[in-house]
Structure 1
């Protein structure tokens, strides 16, 4: 059915927008946080080897629609310029199949060079897209890319094929697959959207225990609620599994304060941010895993100061900041009584201090006492399942997000 819909909508790809269409400012409709190449916490990936004479096709579901689309590539962790031979954008079908692809250009050129440590935004593509539509980007790299900036825990599928398959609508050539995203860090639109909300956090926001390929992360559910309530706001998932507020990791990214600007503040059209982070800060001291180090014990006061830095940065940009209470983790692999005491103290501050503009009490909706409710527990006592992630989305006050656009 998805393929039939994609084929039918392809005819609209290059059609001119009607005279009454609104062409607004650019705003994000999809995003992901980039991280350094590494073998992967649980699944193998292609980040360390990169690509050469290969095409990479990636499927993402956008949150709001628009009249024009552009994509954002990242070479944030590259050590040399990234040379992109060409790219296309299409409506996704089943698997790696697509509708008719449209060429993507950069300053009028189908080829692009993304300097090391930088991002690059494409030219606008005149393709009208709908809320919750799944889009496919295909990148072709003729020469070697070197190690790839990527997002490890995509909860979706990327596909790889030999040679230049940018304009292939069949997925037959894409015989290899990965559970990560590569180089693609954002999709942006113009249209009737009033802006976007960034959802910032760790593996819970990333959707680690959601159903693979089903778009059931809590930011996905939040986007669905906004759409159903007639509030055209993009939702950007900038969660990063294993990420912490106070300490960096070679595998799990820079600490929250260091990545907050590029993953939230520098995204176009952001009007509000929901922050839910800290469980890894209180839990990692018990975890003897090389990528969890350094893993010093942190105090509630230190963690609160880390949150305050995020609040100050967001408010300096005029954003509404919603604080999410830290989710329960008792009986998980990284639980300790000391960590639980710190979590409780930070949650009390989030609820009562008034320093956040509003509170989304995720702990309240997820916990039975100090433990993740059985109906929300996928088995690790830490990462909510699909039902728990929906409950999280339901705990966010939509009016607070919408008021941020006024």
Structure 2
């Protein structure tokens, strides 16, 4: 949803398979098995997208060649061992990683020198990931606390071609010419962007156990954190993780939002449809126990815009949208994962608004509240509505486009969740 103007090494050598209409990884499709090792929990995640222009300049279409990429993420679970997950899901040729490190973040592109750990992949410092493949590094001994920022650095010595990436990170990533994978300082990293590239997850193991399995938030740009403050971790996923910890029930919270994503249709800019990517981006994350689904405003709203960024923009009925959500519910239950539905936020005054969209949104929200098909639900529609006009986001929560919350609005979303339902 956007205004008008994210074991041992396992490489997926096959294309993504479909199970019950939902994507699973190539490794799963090929029947790959993890070697014995620590029990991993996803501590951070981002949903992969194919290379695209996007609303802000990014490096995905050009890719990388003879460069070092440095990316900063914040984990919501601690541990004494860490590994990374890399994705070449939309690559058309093998991706060569010449070297990689993980370290605690110092400031900007700088890292704590004593914390730098060289990463290996089945014992090797360099590795190639097949086109459409994914890979996990070996474990590295690194003490991390919940809400600590970590920096992942990749040396991309060969030409990558278009890069699998996550378009809108609301966090700064850095690039340097040459090999600077082991640098602790920021001096060489003189280019920056607000996207993540190839990095799809950071997992932890060991101490700092949570009080429950991971919670995945699945959706579009509202889940992704559009209009939240860059580099300050103010998405609603961040706010929910912080609230769980303050309540004495810490759990990792993983963000599986993609700006502009739709439940029912694929998009070159906005990722594969929700029903296709749900298995890969939510259900397959290590340690997941609950998924919260907030998605559908783009399906019903893009057709209302005078200048839609997604074309063609078909008119989607309430029944069609509900049918898509039922696929997500069935897939989650088949994996033994609890699935929580969310009502769509008010859209009055936005470029997604129109009589038809308002009608479908109202009918869909009533289905979420009353059908009982989701295991439970959270009512964002009522939590963020303007008391003076229920079709609009309350002014104190509105980022200005009448569609996306601001930082305060994302905190209000986290407060709206009954933690017991997770």
The two structures have a TM-score, normalised by structure 1, of 0.91
1:286-305 superposed matches below 5 A = 286-287=304-305, 289=307, 291-305=309-323
Q: 1:164 to 1:288 in 2, by over 3 A?
A: farther
* Matched residues, number: 378
Note the alpha carbon deviations across 1:62-120, whole angstroms, 9 max, x for none. Answer: 00101211100000000000000000001111111101211010000010111111110
User: 2-side partners of 1:149 and 1:346: how far apart?
Assistant: 33
Is the contact between residue 249 and residue 291 of structure 1 (CA under 8 Å) also seen in structure 2? no
User: 2-side partners of 1:163 and 1:279: how far apart?
Assistant: 43
What residue number does 1:346 align with?
364
What residue number does 1:389 align with?
410
SS at match of 2:361: helix
Residues 1:152 and 2:170 are matched in the alignment: no
Residues 1:311 and 2:329 are matched in the alignment: yes
Is the contact between residue 28 and residue 269 of structure 1 (CA under 8 Å) also seen in structure 2? yes
Q: 1:200 to 1:142 in 2, by over 3 A?
A: same
Is the contact between residue 304 and residue 357 of structure 2 (CA under 8 Å) also seen in structure 1? no
User: 1-side partners of 2:213 and 2:78: how far apart?
Assistant: 12
Note the alpha carbon deviations across 1:108-136, whole angstroms, 9 max, x for none. Answer: 00101111111100001111110000000
What residue number does 1:13 align with?
none
In the alignment, which of 90, 97, 100 is matched to residue 87 of structure 1? 100
What residue number does 1:365 align with?
383
What residue number does 2:136 align with?
121
- Post-superposition offset of 1:32: 0.5
Note the alpha carbon deviations across 1:51-71, whole angstroms, 9 max, x for none. Answer: 111000000000010121110
Is the contact between residue 28 and residue 195 of structure 1 (CA under 8 Å) also seen in structure 2? no
SS at match of 2:141: coil
Residues 1:48 and 2:66 are matched in the alignment: no
In the alignment, which of 55, 61, 65 is matched to residue 74 of structure 2? 61
Unaligned runs of 5+ in 2: 1-36
- Post-superposition offset of 1:24: 6.3
Is the contact between residue 302 and residue 308 of structure 2 (CA under 8 Å) also seen in structure 1? no
User: 1-side partners of 2:362 and 2:62: how far apart?
Assistant: 42
User: 2-side partners of 1:232 and 1:108: how far apart?
Assistant: 33
User: 2-side partners of 1:31 and 1:140: how far apart?
Assistant: 21
User: 2-side partners of 1:24 and 1:76: how far apart?
Assistant: 25
Q: 1:112 to 1:288 in 2, by over 3 A?
A: farther
What residue number does 1:241 align with?
259
Note the alpha carbon deviations across 1:310-357, whole angstroms, 9 max, x for none. Answer: 000001111111111001111101211100100000000000101111
1:259-274 superposed matches below 5 A = 259-274=277-292
User: 2-side partners of 1:288 and 1:97: how far apart?
Assistant: 44
- Post-superposition offset of 1:168: 0.9
CA RMSD of aligned residues (A): 1.2
The two structures have a TM-score, normalised by structure 2, of 0.88
In the alignment, which of 283, 290, 296 is matched to residue 278 of structure 1? 296
Unaligned runs of 5+ in 1: 1-22, 402-406
- Post-superposition offset of 1:397: 1.8
Is the contact between residue 376 and residue 386 of structure 1 (CA under 8 Å) also seen in structure 2? yes
- Post-superposition offset of 1:378: 1.5
Is the contact between residue 250 and residue 291 of structure 1 (CA under 8 Å) also seen in structure 2? no
Q: 1:288 to 1:145 in 2, by over 3 A?
A: farther
User: 2-side partners of 1:330 and 1:213: how far apart?
Assistant: 29
Residues 1:30 and 2:44 are matched in the alignment: yes
- Post-superposition offset of 1:152: 0.6
Is the contact between residue 302 and residue 309 of structure 2 (CA under 8 Å) also seen in structure 1? no
User: 1-side partners of 2:340 and 2:88: how far apart?
Assistant: 30
SS at match of 2:144: coil
SS at match of 1:310: helix
Is the contact between residue 328 and residue 371 of structure 1 (CA under 8 Å) also seen in structure 2? yes
What residue number does 1:137 align with?
152
Note the alpha carbon deviations across 1:258-302, whole angstroms, 9 max, x for none. Answer: 000100111111000000001101101123557402310000011
Q: 1:291 to 1:82 in 2, by over 3 A?
A: farther
